[in-house]
Chain A
Amino acid sequence: MASTASGASRLPLAWLRLLLLGWLFAVVSQTTCASNGLQPLSDGDREAVAGYFTADADGFYGSLQETYHALRALEILERSNVESQKICDSLVGLVQAPHDSVEDAFHVVRIAEVLQCPHGAEVAKVIVPSLQAAVEKAKSLLELHYSVATIAIIKGWSSKSASFNDALSGVFSSLKELAGPDGTWHYTKSSSESSAKAAGLYTFFSFPTTAIAYHVIGHIKTAAIKLFDNLESHDQGVFYFQESKDDASSGGGGALEATWAVLRGSAALAAVLPAKLKVEVEKVFGIAKFLLTPGLALSATEAFYQLDSLSVLEEYRPAVPVSVQTSSILSLSSNDNLEVAVTTVLGKPVSQVKVTLVSAHCIGADAPPVWSSQNLNYVENSGKYVFHFLSATTDLGKYKLRLEVCSVKSEGHSSYTSGGPVKSDITVISAIGISDVQIAVLDSNTGISDFSAVLEYGKDENITLSANHLQKLRLSLKLTSPSGSPFNPQQVFLKLVHESHVEHLYLVKSSAKGFQLTLDFLGLVEKLQYLSGTYNVVLIVGDMTMENSFVWTLASLDLDLPAAPEGKPLPPKAPLEITARIGPKPEIAHIFRQPEKRPPTLLSNIFLSLTLLPLIGFFIGLGYLGANIKLFPTTGLPGAAAVGFHGAVASILVLYFLFWLKLDLFTTLKVLGFLGLCTLPPGHFILSYLADSSAKQKTA
């Protein structure tokens, strides 16, 4: 589903950012909330997005286009601190100033529409003459878009709009030339790239004119449906429209702007068609997921596209995606009801759906479902669907729920989609009863208790026990769930904390009679590190389904242990600061091998020159001996061969010098082979020539 007609798919940076955020979003959504994967726009996101728009002194937000974006976005976010009066008053002045582009007129008209300015008629009167010329002159998709869209908006303000219809019908036939075979469009006749955004722009402006022939509508409709086949998809069911290279000519904007353009276009088309525009529900849902990715909008323009697309999705004719969120924890002690919130992507509650609890299973047990096929009731004042899930016999623990959200069929209303059946997990918790808590100090040999006390949970009794190494400590308690059966929590521990913060943890085991632990100090003397003194006896009980998990200091124990034997070093006491144990270790400074000492440069240079001295001596000696090169052949082939031979040998020596400086052995060997071959013929020739000539001299 990832092929588009737009040639090479280069990944814009925004898409990479999106990939990371989309993955993060998917991971987070699976671990924290019980929902259908779609989270409506959160308050944090709204605040962040509203912060992108800051007004100038004259009430505008930058250029005309930016001002329109800001006004529309703030309208969607329901912020009312906008200086509409000031802006409306300046609009007429702006339109009257001479300008060439129809784009400015387009933005002015859109601002007037958003703010519902009362000067509509005046603005229309000024613009209408230039618009007609613009429509006839327009060559590219963008120019047509601006002029036709402006006409569409001011139709209601001016009485001259009827004359536009003739111009427009001519426009449609020239537009068909810009269409591509797979539902995408080009920006101009000469451009080779097609783009989904262009398609969106095309369908967007086509509409609120009345004089459109039926065949044109049909053509546009099939093309629009084909367009949705080009949706790019990504993991976790996120769909969006990829931008194409040509989109830079219309202002770039990436996948977000392309998706916005297509949504706007298809919504406008659906509003005009007599029959419904069929788009697959998963695709609409996927687009909604894309638009609700946290951190999607990083600038004012992106915020506008995100918010405008979301507002289109709230009333999208083919299907309106809804977010379904269930409560995740139900408490038996407060008798909570199961609440399901069904909202649009911008957070408005939806009441025209039927929510059914298909099944609810207890996780871990193979028992039949606790509930099946139950309808939930809509409660007006909270905007949620409610079901009385808990009863006296409901077990504690986790439950898997399966919900279905169906649209109630009614005229004029869109159908709502939740992206398929909704699965969620809930946990039923309760307060657990603690009873029969008894702590006793027993004599090891006889088993008779020297001291025992019964404690009551909730009362702070400050009991002091004392024991020595010949005694045992026994703890017993009972835990009961609200249904009366014994409760087995995940954590039942007894902790002994010495005054020097050394801690020891013991597991309290359960049996048919409840929980019991016996600590025999004789065997534990070494584990307790021979530390005598005051210990706090702390009971820790906790479980996922327990509302009142606790850490309870039962008593303080004066423990008397024998002293540590001689020679055995006491293990170090636990450090007070947890960071000393878990924090960073000291940095290791590596010591590298010291480089060898080199002789001073002057000494090396002196010896270098000393090495050359014997060479000089050699040449002086040669002169002294009377060596000469008289026999060097000077003319003809022998001369050339001699020169060639000496030259080749010299070149080999130069090669060796280069080898020493920078070449590697392989290159050297290759070149040496070549030079050797060059040396052979002249060398052979000259030496055999010399041999022959000396042989001739001998015989002669």
Chain B
Amino acid sequence: MGSTTADARALVTALRSAYAATPIKLKIIDLYVVYALSTVLVQVVYMSLVGSFPFNAFLSGILSCIGSAVLAVCLRMQVNKENKEFKDLPPERAFADFVLCNLVLHLVIMNFLG
């Protein structure tokens, strides 16, 4: 029992120090993802309190947040210099894609919001 807690604590410390080494840009994107997901949480709690009417509004709310989070993760993958897959992709291009996809996502969300 004691070893698991000690192991857990060691794991967390290791993760934290490794994370500190990530570039700031990536940390910003991570923070953005955390923000989007916490907004989803708030909305789900609200829905559980008052029921899901109107359902389309609820769906569009959470899909907006989840979609933004997904797009941010994609951006992080593409911008990350350690990622060999996207070596040739300039980060500005990735950012332009991110902006475009967000705009399309939000158009659809706004239409579905009603």
What is A's interface to B at a CB cutoff of 8 Å? 596-599, 603-604, 607, 610-611, 613-615, 617-618, 621-622, 625-627, 649, 652-653, 656, 659-660, 665, 668, 672, 683-684, 687-688, 690-691, 694
Q: Are A617 and B28 in contact (CB-based, < 8 A)? A: no
Interface size classification for chain B? 20 to 34
Chain A residues in 8 Å Cβ range of B36: 614
Q: Are A614 and B38 in contact (CB-based, < 8 A)? A: yes
Chain A residues in 8 Å Cβ range of B96: 683-684, 687
Q: Which of B28, B92, B111, B113 contacts A687 (CB 8 A)?
A: B92
When A596-B53, A656-B107, A688-B92 are in contact, do A617 and B35 touch as well, CB less than 8 Å?
A: yes
- Number of inter-chain CB pairs below 8 Å: 75
When A596-B53, A599-B50, A652-B103 are in contact, do A687 and B93 touch as well, CB less than 8 Å?
A: yes
Report the Cα distance A360→B81, complex, angstroms. 116
Q: Which of A596, A617, A656, A672 contacts B38 (CB 8 A)?
A: A617
Q: Which of A599, A604, A614, A687 contacts B35 (CB 8 A)?
A: A614
Chain B residues in 8 Å Cβ range of A621: 31, 34-35
Chain A residues in 8 Å Cβ range of B35: 614-615, 617-618, 621
Q: Are A611 and B42 in contact (CB-based, < 8 A)? A: yes
Q: Are A656 and B50 in contact (CB-based, < 8 A)? A: no
CB of A663 to closest CB in B, whole Å: 10
The 10 residue pairs across chains A and B that have the minimum distance between CB atoms: A599-B50, A618-B35, A687-B92, A614-B38, A607-B46, A691-B92, A621-B31, A596-B53, A656-B110, A614-B35
Q: Which of B24, B54, B110 contacts A627 (CB 8 A)?
A: B24
Q: Are A659 and B99 in contact (CB-based, < 8 A)? A: no
Mark contacts of B78-100 with chain A using CB atoms, 8 A cut-off: 1 yes-contact digit, 0 otherwise.
Answer: 00000000000011110110010
Q: Which of A603, A614, A660, A691 contacts B42 (CB 8 A)?
A: A614
Chain B residues in 8 Å Cβ range of A622: 28, 31
CB of B102 to closest CB in A, whole Å: 9
Closest to A615 in B: B35
Report the Cα distance A611→B47, complex, angstroms. 13
Q: Are B32 and A618 in contact (CB-based, < 8 A)? A: yes
Chain B residues in 8 Å Cβ range of A615: 35, 39
Mark contacts of B2-35 with chain A using CB atoms, 8 A cut-off: 1 yes-contact digit, 0 otherwise.
Answer: 0000000000000000000000100110011011
Chain B residues in 8 Å Cβ range of A683: 96, 99
Q: Which of A597, A599, A611, A614 contacts B49 (CB 8 A)?
A: A599
CB of B48 to closest CB in A, whole Å: 11
Report the Cα distance A672→B100, complex, angstroms. 12
Report the Cα distance A687→B94, complex, angstroms. 10
Report the Cα distance A604→B46, complex, angstroms. 8
> Which of B32, B91, B111 gathers most chain A CB within 10 Å?
B111
Q: Are B38 and A603 in contact (CB-based, < 8 A)? A: no
23 contacts between A and B (CB under 8 A): A597-B51, A597-B53, A599-B50, A599-B51, A603-B50, A610-B46, A613-B42, A614-B35, A614-B36, A614-B42, A615-B35, A617-B35, A617-B38, A618-B32, A627-B24, A656-B106, A659-B111, A660-B113, A665-B111, A668-B107, A672-B107, A683-B96, A687-B92
Given contacts A610-B42, A649-B99, A691-B92, 8 further A-B contacts (CB under 8 A): A598-B53, A611-B43, A622-B28, A625-B24, A625-B31, A627-B24, A627-B28, A665-B111
Chain B residues in 8 Å Cβ range of A649: 99, 103
Report the Cα distance A622→B111, complex, angstroms. 31
Chain B residues in 8 Å Cβ range of A611: 39, 42-43
Report the Cα distance A683→B92, complex, angstroms. 10
Q: Which of B39, B90, B106 contacts A691 (CB 8 A)?
A: B90
Report the Cα distance A627→B25, complex, angstroms. 8
CB of A466 to closest CB in B, whole Å: 75
CB of A690 to closest CB in B, whole Å: 5
Q: Are B49 and A687 in contact (CB-based, < 8 A)? A: no
Q: Are B31 and A687 in contact (CB-based, < 8 A)? A: no
Q: Are A626 and B24 in contact (CB-based, < 8 A)? A: yes
Chain B residues in 8 Å Cβ range of A614: 34-36, 38-39, 42
Report the Cα distance A526→B98, complex, angstroms. 87
Chain A residues in 8 Å Cβ range of B24: 625-627
Closest to A665 in B: B111
CB of B22 to closest CB in A, whole Å: 11
Report the Cα distance A621→B91, complex, angstroms. 23
Chain B residues in 8 Å Cβ range of A668: 107
Q: Are B95 and A687 in contact (CB-based, < 8 A)? A: yes
Chain B residues in 8 Å Cβ range of A627: 24, 28
Chain A residues in 8 Å Cβ range of B54: 596
CB of B43 to closest CB in A, whole Å: 7
CB of B72 to closest CB in A, whole Å: 12
Q: Are A659 and B110 in contact (CB-based, < 8 A)? A: yes
Chain B residues in 8 Å Cβ range of A690: 92
Report the Cα distance A613→B39, complex, angstroms. 8
Chain A residues in 8 Å Cβ range of B28: 622, 625, 627
Closest to B102 in A: A649
Chain A residues in 8 Å Cβ range of B110: 656, 659-660
Chain A residues in 8 Å Cβ range of B42: 607, 610-611, 613-614
Chain B residues in 8 Å Cβ range of A694: 91
Chain A residues in 8 Å Cβ range of B106: 653, 656
Report the Cα distance A611→B42, complex, angstroms. 6
Closest to A621 in B: B31
Chain A residues in 8 Å Cβ range of B111: 659, 665
Report the Cα distance A615→B95, complex, angstroms. 21
Closest to B61 in A: A611
Report the Cα distance A668→B106, complex, angstroms. 13
CB of B92 to closest CB in A, whole Å: 4
